[in-house]
Amino acid sequence: MNPVFFYKMSGSGNDFIIIDNREKSLPEENLSKFIMAVCRRRISVGADGVILIEKSDIVDFKWRFFNSDGKIAEMCGNGARCTALFAFLNGIAGSEMAFETLAGIIHASVLPNNLVKIKMTDIRDLKVDFQIEGEKSTLSSLNTGVPHAVMIVDNIEDVAVKELGREIRFHNAFAPSGTNVNFISVLPDQTVAVRTYERGVEDETLACGTGSVASAMITAIKFGLVSPVKILARSGETLRIYFKQDNNTFSDVYLEGDARLIYKAQLCEDALKG
């Protein structure tokens, strides 16, 4: 195996393997298998997803984002913030940049102290307060680059995130591609506590950028929260969501939070062993 150099990065609790693939050094053959192998925790690097940085003819660069199940995804908010920091640290782009994703072009700013702020794609497919077959609780849904369902709960600690999240994620109401699922509670200080079952990871994650944006939009509609909405991720980190609102229409939506370089390393063959 040719050497594969990577950065391990974390965006408020979401962790990613980021590889500079501008020279197409990573073979396309069995790419999905490669991603699933390196994302395994304890017996490989372990991550929520893999990001490949590639050349673009129209902006600074483009990415391909893969969830840990090896499948490509349109967008990942915290992954986008880590990608921006990676590009800045490696001289691929300046502190202000733009890059291609399947959800559209993302604009990002690397701020002091490794804060990264990204402009999200347009909010679409908003649906507020509906029920699905087999569920008593009310849901809302929207697309913040990827689809999200949002459920308001009384106590965030009591939610069976993995069990209920999986049930909603695969429900026929969200077929065929399924949805991410966010459980939210508004705390006394107006911070929104969020727990997310993430599609493609198929488990609860410590944070979700697009899910944080989805949660902020629903709390703005349902509780009158105003920009910036503070989101408390399961990791304990706080994300801030900025936006303009006109009734149920949102524009100029930004996600801001912490991004960290955890380590740089070279992948060894043992990381891919079954």
**Which residues is 116 bridged to in the sheet?**
110, 257
Judge contact between 45 and 177, C-beta under 8 A. Answer: no
Residue 85: enclosing H or E segment and its boundaries?
A: helix 77-89
CA distance 146 to 211: 9
- Per the listing, tokens 């993430």 go with 198
Closest of 62, 1, 73, 63 to residue 30, by C-alpha: 1
List the alpha helices (DSSP H) in 113-208.
161-169
Query: Among this protein's residues, is 39 annotated catalytic?
Result: no
Helix pair 77-89, 209-223: axis angle to 10 deg: 130
Q: In this structure, is the dihedral angle defined by the CA atoms of residues 118, 124, 127 and 133, taken in order, positive or negative? A: negative
**Backbone dihedral region for residue 95 (phi beyond 0: left; psi -120 to 50: alpha; all else: beta):** alpha
- To the query of whether residue 268 is one of the catalytic residues in this protein, the response is no
Q: What are the Cα distances from residue 35, in Å, to 4, 39, 64, 252?
A: 12, 6, 12, 33
Residues taking part in catalysis = 76, 208
